[in-house]
Structure 1
């Protein structure tokens, strides 16, 4: 970690002890927060507060007094000049952290997929991260130097499935008030670009996979905002009409729901097809012709579903260190909820009747050990995180010690991971892939991680980032792994009845 140069550091070990003491005070649930209206240290009963004992309105005189106090400090004057003329993070970036976060790892998968992908102006990170995991097995099978699966193919089918999923949810929530939180959350983003691992699994099982050359990105896949706005507007219109029909006293009106909904879906299909282009049919064979890395001509004729099933072939599984990517599942670290419990999210999904979104909630050590074992097998790991926190995309660094906010503003950002989730300060915002880790030679514990992003080669170090282990503790929420890399106790959690989180939960 870098140090604040203007502050005297505590004696060796003292800072770590202080940190542990503070972490012991972290709140573990919303209930604990609700019960703690104040913190009282001294013995005896807590003081009684009256509204008259504090100033309820903001005093202009008081703010002017504060300003004078701020500007008395020469350090603040220098900071004022610097911050008002420059990017604040560029000024506060610790050079020692940048130097320490090097792209050197003693555990690294031997075969990283190529090329580095680019999701462009879209929220398809989960589709890029998942296909970056899938492609490694296929590249090994077909002896390829460079290869991409079509993210746009999955994107197309995800959009149309989400539209159907939304309309079915509308029909199931007719009794809910339109201005209630559930309906407003459903209406907010019915076909958003984002998604989860189990949603990818649903798409691959139903529609399969195709090479990127057979269905490349259309403009609206690379820049999806207009398409999303059009579909969202239409679906909101459809939602109101369906609610009206479903609650009609007329039997014939209610009986027409199926026909009306099908026409609605046909309209969505029209918009998608014109803006993304007709995708390969999951029922028809495609003809994929290519040269392998030895220059030999190859031709593959398969249906997309058959192409996807290759990932479970014994030869492919063996080449992947015994990992069948169709069997992968999600571990999460959510300190608000009990560990070794199964979580799901109410009404979150894409394929109606498909695999639900589920997470096995575990501690950080369990996640890290599972990821390390997976990397040692030579398999990349899909993970979800809050990518915008303490990160520099140009340098490709994610590190909690990257910016010295305490030095600049004389304040600590002291929310715990649980508290950040409780207050909306943090959530899973981006999916990427782990391809390496550097382990301490003495303790064997992870120091830093290698991250493959989907922001093109212009971001980070030719598309790759470095993530400190502390950053992983604080801002990584999910890792998708093979059941064989965790204990039986963790695998058995999958048999539990899941705790249902609200649709608006940050783990959704």
Structure 2
């Protein structure tokens, strides 16, 4: 084929298109009907029901609305299970707005420290450009969630309820991005005057960030009065308490024992090694975000074992692939796009990572699993998109989709095979800031 497009080549393509009746049929269909409705494999839809052999959830789903806080919602949804049991209430929510406030403030400081550290590099340096590209998104990772709870504790939703901006973060984030990029400019200009001059400037930027967050989200409480009535109508009062005391009382799982097990099948990512991503995080001086790479069958088995044992599982995935929202189904072959377009779309998971076709985009909870002959057949998923879709907000994932589009699960270290657990004590391989495994779930 010639280097540039020619009229002769276009003529050939047009004639080949017109020569096949199937192309004209698809053109007529797709120009009048959404392509997903045409490509949908009805056999998969009708063969997939929402029943599972092991079912944990008997609570209502939450709704992150127009925000990218899925990782935070999924983490708090995991923790609220034990809290609700201890409180003896049917439904309970920790304040997502409280953790959002602290995540934004901590992340602003984390970004500005990264700017100070890289201020000697050219602004077009790839790492600097990556940092400036999105200085304060809503997305996050499991280790970032744990870092926030460890440092700032938790409060009930009643102590810091949602605001318009926590449920629709766009305008707030716009102001924060501008403040932080302006701060980055000023910090870089002060590089020749030393770190102390830069940190003084950083303090001024953080004061402005504090004001923006407090205006949009309210002020996070340092103490609050906690009292409640349980599902048996018995009244309880803990009295005045702090966020740290509340977390200590109502977080019923040992967060520091959980590790992030990932499936990264790239040749450059050996199984049984740990990884971290440069400049990934939110809390300065918190333990780094570390992944332990394992085989996909191990991720499935440990997730199944946890759910069967009575504990939901936090996981991250590429949520938009092969998804049908109105029925709440994921399946690896849900849409037959190849039949529609007469073109191959096949790429394995490693190739999709290498060529920027996939990354982790969303985090949720496994709250059920259908086990047949000791192996998972389908998964029940608590999403944070409200209760209007799927089974009142609980979705169904066929196991084929897990293998292709799930990237990480949070599991207890004690559940790992001994050789993998030992790898957690080795220094992690450092991936560049732009590596796809550093993607933030939103």
Give TM class, smaller chain: over 0.9
| Bigger Rg over Cα | 1
Aligned partners of 2:302 and 2:415 also within 8 Å = yes
Query: What SS is found at the alignment partner of 1:273?
Result: helix
Does 1:295 pair with 2:240?
no
Query: What SS is found at the alignment partner of 1:495?
Result: coil
Q: Distance in 2 between matches of 1:243 and 1:107?
A: 55
Q: Distance in 2 between matches of 1:258 and 1:183?
A: 18
Cα pair distance change 1:348/1:387, threshold 3 Å: same
Aligned partners of 1:113 and 1:147 also within 8 Å = no
Match of 1:499 in 2: 429
C-alpha root-mean-square deviation of aligned residues, in Å? 1.4
Aligned partners of 2:308 and 2:369 also within 8 Å = no
Give 2:359's match in structure 1, choosing from 410, 416, 427.
Answer: 427
Match of 2:204 in 1: 263
Q: Distance in 1 between matches of 2:58 and 2:119?
A: 46
Query: What SS is found at the alignment partner of 1:256?
Result: helix
Match of 1:272 in 2: 213
Give 2:286's match in structure 1, choosing from 354, 366, 390.
Answer: 354
Cα pair distance change 1:218/1:265, threshold 3 Å: same
Aligned partners of 1:375 and 1:381 also within 8 Å = yes
Match of 1:167 in 2: 112
Q: Distance in 2 between matches of 1:210 and 1:262?
A: 27
Cα pair distance change 1:311/1:290, threshold 3 Å: closer
Q: Distance in 2 between matches of 1:255 and 1:66?
A: 64
* Residue-by-residue CA offset, 1:180-216 (whole Å, 9 max, x unaligned): 1111111111111001111111110111011111111
Aligned partners of 2:120 and 2:191 also within 8 Å = no
Give 1:67's match in structure 2, choosing from 2, 7, 14.
Answer: 14
Q: Distance in 2 between matches of 1:224 and 1:113?
A: 30
Q: CA deviation at 1:73?
A: 2.2
Give 2:2's match in structure 1, choosing from 46, 51, 55.
Answer: 55
* Residue-by-residue CA offset, 1:458-498 (whole Å, 9 max, x unaligned): 12221011111111101100000112222111211110110
Q: Distance in 1 between matches of 2:326 and 2:431?
A: 35
Aligned partners of 1:311 and 1:324 also within 8 Å = no
* Residue-by-residue CA offset, 1:209-245 (whole Å, 9 max, x unaligned): 1111111111111110111111110111111111111
Aligned partners of 2:186 and 2:201 also within 8 Å = no
Q: Distance in 2 between matches of 1:407 and 1:191?
A: 41
Q: Distance in 2 between matches of 1:445 and 1:412?
A: 31
Match of 1:388 in 2: 320
Q: How many residues align?
A: 435
Match of 1:17 in 2: none
Cα pair distance change 1:422/1:478, threshold 3 Å: same
Q: CA deviation at 1:114?
A: 2.5
Q: CA deviation at 1:311?
A: 5.0
* Residue-by-residue CA offset, 1:305-328 (whole Å, 9 max, x unaligned): 11112356xxx4xxxxxx534421
**TM-score calculated relative to the size of structure 1:** 0.83
Match of 1:147 in 2: 92
Q: Distance in 1 between matches of 2:112 and 2:146?
A: 21
Q: Distance in 1 between matches of 2:157 and 2:58?
A: 14
Q: Distance in 1 between matches of 2:221 and 2:58?
A: 24
* Residue-by-residue CA offset, 1:278-311 (whole Å, 9 max, x unaligned): 1112xx3x21222211121222332111111235
Aligned partners of 1:150 and 1:215 also within 8 Å = yes
Q: CA deviation at 1:440?
A: 2.0
1:54-453 aligned at under 5 Å gives the runs: 54-109=1-56, 112=57, 114-248=59-193, 255-281=196-222, 284=223, 286-301=224-239, 302-310=241-249, 316=252, 324-336=254-266, 337-441=269-373, 444-453=374-383
* Residue-by-residue CA offset, 1:355-406 (whole Å, 9 max, x unaligned): 2100110001111111111111211111000001111112111111111112
Whose RCO is larger (CA < 8 A, sep 6+)? 2
Match of 2:420 in 1: 490
Aligned partners of 1:393 and 1:460 also within 8 Å = yes
Q: Distance in 1 between matches of 2:229 and 2:319?
A: 36
List gaps (5 residues or longer) in structure 2.
Answer: none
* Residue-by-residue CA offset, 1:402-455 (whole Å, 9 max, x unaligned): 1111221222211110010001100000001101111223xx221111111000
Aligned partners of 2:146 and 2:255 also within 8 Å = no
Q: Distance in 1 between matches of 2:227 and 2:28?
A: 60
